[in-house]
Structure 1
């Protein structure tokens, strides 16, 4: 595993990854590169984020009021190859009076690695209520996961500490090296991008979706007293869903509260809410993943 050069900037690398290229001569088709990963597979959150950008570009050209992303649902079908360019093929399913639907297939080697559907909506008024943000420590009082990873002394953790574009801070302690004494299926993390993002709601949605895939399944590990350092773990994301409720910036602190209501059949379910620092609920996330413990 080769570490990036000292002047590597993970934040600007993420912005570059999200800047997809339109394929000449093909309508609604885009291409993008991948970020290298220590496990040799494309990070699922990256493919979700790039799919958001591809779908959003086909909505931006519509006349009338802006249509913002309000929900997405996708299935991870195959591991992605980080050394291969990914092709994003967008299908315009419907453009109604206030909603637009898009389907995106991310293609490598002629086969889909993820299939997603998105819905965009113009602004509308209606009933208003939200879940309440729990009381947690302020992010400034917590150590960054980058600092924690750097102390573990192994190549994978050092690589992660050097290449993450998102500042993540665990409220109940991280699970990278060892399990925690208190076993619970809930946890909270603060997160934000490590630089100032452009004033484009689509990019902020893409970056939050990218970050939401980092640790949503950790509630299942925490519940069973297991950490990522356990060599028996075999984990992979199977699907991912998000609902965007209210405006936010992904370069400002967001609290990501997470819980695992069930684990069974070699799968674990994670549910999450994302709050602004002022307590406003901005998104809800759900993901099921393969979660197996290989018997030694």
Structure 2
């Protein structure tokens, strides 16, 4: 399943095509899907010894789930230890997304990382969908089908007792294994899942649960910084926070850890969280 979602095919030099997800319940292309495919296209133009270490995505227009997306890669820089690529994503004549990505050969240097927050193990945490049943007005059934290839566990306490001046969400996720030995495949998978519920952290202080129908959400910018590679099939812990929202936008950031506490990645996202205005008749 995940390999089909991340796959892109080269149609001409440095131009790739990615297929939409068939049978999705979403009205528009999932942003993590578009970004992961764009990154996969960029990775296809870089030597495998240099995996992606950072990617910044700019969402310009909602993607259509009915047709393919075309990714055009620009080889911005090939350096001694780092490469850079830029990608433009089009559907028809409409540009829907832009990506910049950096690639680096691993090397030695200064190192530090913040410790993983204390959390109950995944075996003691309910599934995201069970939490939806208790706290959301949405039917969790279609969502269970949409994300059936991911085992998602949600720390419910952050919803039960939210803090008024910042939002926090914590999840355990068992990552599926992507085919192929290349390091970049796992990093594209991280990019895909990073967009799953990050923006919803900015709704937690306001008592709004993931998928609230009166809160349209749209990602504006999304950044992924990969520090280490997860073990395929193992649990990862994602600690998501939002320390600011205003003007119809929410800003969220997250840290992904391995189960033994290694920092794997950092995510930052800015997006629209405007509440729909009720329709009034004159």
After TM superposition, the score normalised by the length of structure 1 is 0.86
Aligned to 1:3: none
List runs of 5+ in structure 1 lacking aligned partners: 1-11, 175-179
How do 1:131-150 residues align onto structure 2 when only pairs under 5 Å count?
Answer: 131-146=114-129
Is 1:172 aligned to 2:172, yes or no? no
Q: Report if the CA contact (8 A) 2:217-2:273 is conserved.
A: yes
Q: Report if the CA contact (8 A) 1:67-1:123 is conserved.
A: yes
Aligned pairs, how many?
A: 273
How do 1:84-163 residues align onto structure 2 when only pairs under 5 Å count?
Answer: 84-146=67-129, 157-163=140-146
Deviation at 1:68, TM superposition (A): 1.3
Q: CA offsets per residue over residues 211-235 of structure 1, 9 Å max, x none?
A: 1101112221111111235332121
Q: Secondary structure at the match of 2:189?
A: helix
Aligned mate of 1:205, from 187, 200, 209:
187
Q: Secondary structure at the match of 2:184?
A: helix
Deviation at 1:156, TM superposition (A): 5.7
More deviation, 277-286/34-43 = 34-43
How do 1:39-118 residues align onto structure 2 when only pairs under 5 Å count?
Answer: 39-60=26-47, 66-118=49-101
Deviation at 1:172, TM superposition (A): 2.5
For the structure 1 residues 156 and 198, does the alpha-carbon distance in structure 2 shift closer, same or farther, using more than 3 Å as the test?
farther
Partner Cα separation in structure 2 for residue 196 and residue 21 of structure 1: 17
Q: Secondary structure at the match of 2:45?
A: helix
For the structure 1 residues 131 and 266, does the alpha-carbon distance in structure 2 shift closer, same or farther, using more than 3 Å as the test?
same
Is 1:17 aligned to 2:5, yes or no? yes
Q: CA offsets per residue over residues 178-233 of structure 1, 9 Å max, x none?
A: xx441231121111224565433211111111111011122211111112353321
Aligned mate of 1:267, from 224, 249, 273:
249
Aligned mate of 2:15, from 29, 41, 44:
29
Q: What CA RMSD, in Å, does the superposition of the two structures yield over aligned residues? A: 2.2
Q: Secondary structure at the match of 1:162?
A: helix
Q: Report if the CA contact (8 A) 1:71-1:244 is conserved.
A: yes
Q: Secondary structure at the match of 2:34?
A: helix
For the structure 1 residues 37 and 152, does the alpha-carbon distance in structure 2 shift closer, same or farther, using more than 3 Å as the test?
farther
Q: Secondary structure at the match of 1:278?
A: coil
Is 1:294 aligned to 2:276, yes or no? yes
Aligned to 1:177: none
Q: Secondary structure at the match of 1:234?
A: coil
Q: Report if the CA contact (8 A) 2:136-2:209 is conserved.
A: no
Aligned to 2:214: 232
Partner Cα separation in structure 1 for residue 137 and residue 245 of structure 2: 29
How do 1:241-252 residues align onto structure 2 when only pairs under 5 Å count?
Answer: 241-252=223-234
Partner Cα separation in structure 2 for residue 229 and residue 118 of structure 1: 30
